Amino acid sequence: MAVSRFSLEGRVAVITGGGTGIGRASALVLAEHGADIVLAGRRLEPLKNTATEIEALGRRALAVPTDVTDPEACRSLVDATVDEFGRLDILLNNAGGGETKSLMKWTDDEWRQVLDLNLSSAWYLSRAAVKPMLSQGKGSIVNISSGASLLAMPQAAIYGAAKAGLNNLTGSMAAAWTRKGVRVNCIACGAIRTPGLEADAARQGFDIDMIGQTNGSGRIAEPDEIGYGVLFFASDASSYCSGQTLYMHGGPGPAGV
- In the set 124, 159, 228, 240, the catalytic residue is 159
* Residue 202, pLDDT score: 77
- Which residues in the chain show pLDDT less than 70? 1-3, 256-257
Q: How far apart are the first and last CA of the chain?
A: 37
* Residue 3, pLDDT score: 66
**C-beta atoms surrounding 202 within 10 Å:** 10
Distance (Å, whole) CA 241 – CA 183: 7
> Would you say 151 and 257 are in contact if contact means Cβ atoms under 8 Å apart?
yes
**Phi, psi at residue 12, to the nearest 5°?**
-125, 130
Q: Mind listing the pLDDT tens digit for each residue in 112-151?
A: 999 999 999 999 999 999 999 999 999 999 999 999 999 9
Q: What are 173-181's contacts with CB under 8 Å, separation 24+?
A: 173/126, 173/130, 173/141, 174/242, 174/243, 174/244, 175/243, 177/130, 177/133, 177/134, 178/242, 178/243, 180/134, 180/137, 181/133, 181/134, 181/136, 181/137, 181/138, 181/139
Superfamily of domain 10-189+222-246: NAD(P)-binding Rossmann-like Domain (3.40.50.720)
* Residue 201, pLDDT score: 74
* Residue 1, pLDDT score: 47
Contacts of 72 (CB under 8 A, 6+ apart): none
Q: Strands (DSSP E) along the chain, which ranges? A: 12-16, 36-41, 61-65, 90-93, 139-146, 182-189, 245-248
The residues spanned by each domain of the chain are: 10-189+222-246
Q: Mind listing the pLDDT tens digit for each residue in 154-185?
A: 999 999 999 999 999 999 999 999 999 999 99
Task: Identify whether 247 is a catalytic site residue.
Answer: no
Q: Strands (DSSP E) along 18-109, which ranges? A: 36-41, 61-65, 90-93
Name which of 193, 41, 196, 185 is nearest 121 in CA terms. Answer: 41
